[in-house]
Amino acid sequence: MSYPKPPDFHGTTFLKSLLLSLHPQQREVFQQPVSKVDANEWTKPLWHYLDKLHPLLWQQGENFPSSAGEQISYLANGQLLMAVSFNPNDYQTLVNHGRLPAGVERHTLSDKAITNNHYLAIPVSSNNAEAAKAVIEFLLSEKAQQRKADTNRWGDPSVLKRTQKADKSSALLEPTDDFHASWQNYLEREWSARYQ
């Protein structure tokens, strides 16, 4: 087992997920700026957990995959037994595309998930804002969202609540609010100080 090396986005979010698992009743603390809480105290259980976990990891926690993509490759060739993802259907899509062997299963750390948003925007400098708006409206249509959720394509669940309710195959966890932005740098800096 392993996880992507922070500051890889997946690796840092894995740390956040562990923190939420270690503090399931105090999630609101992490929506506050690091400077407003005793971050050192709140992260002590995380560092204690990782200190015990790292010697048991792939290469005894001396090396980490550089990215989620590299971790998927290690999983595919049998070097690792797990990979992290924001997409609950990622494993099935990768199996369907022949990038992972059949039999790969999804497991979760918590009853809630930090989800990955895909933002659509029209730049102020756009030469054709109306055409851009039409593309965004199409991408947010039920038809496009259903196609996006197809595990023979991307497999990313729909952002539309009505489509999510109809598609029980993705077994979405209830989303939790992501951490305040200041936690990103704090966790990456503290992780690097301890484990690099």
Res 112 pLDDT > 80: no
Under DSSP, is residue 26 helix (H, G, I), strand (E, B) or coil? Answer: coil
Residue 75 has what pLDDT?
92
Residue 57, sorted as left (phi over 0), alpha (psi -120 to 50) or beta, turns out to be: beta
What is the spatial distance between Cα 145 and Cα 143, in angstroms, rounded to a whole number?
Answer: 6
pLDDT digits (tens, 9 = 90+) for 135-177: 999 998 888 888 887 777 776 777 776 555 555 555 556 667 7
Q: Are 132 and 122 in contact (CB under 8 A)?
A: yes
> What amino acid is encoded at 79 in this protein?
Q
Residue 178 has what pLDDT?
79
Taken in order 24, 7, 192, 85, the sign of the CA dihedral is positive
Residue where the block lists tokens 């394509």:
153
**Both tokens of residue 156?**
């990313």
Better-predicted residue by pLDDT, 58 or 176: 58
Residue 29 has what pLDDT?
93
Burial per residue of 116-136, b for 16 or more beta-carbon CB atoms within 10 angstroms, e otherwise: eeeeeeeeeeeeeeeeeeeee
pLDDT digits (tens, 9 = 90+) for 23-36: 988 888 999 999 99
Q: Give the single-character DSSP code of 114.
A: E
Per-residue pLDDT, averaged over 57-85, amounts to 93
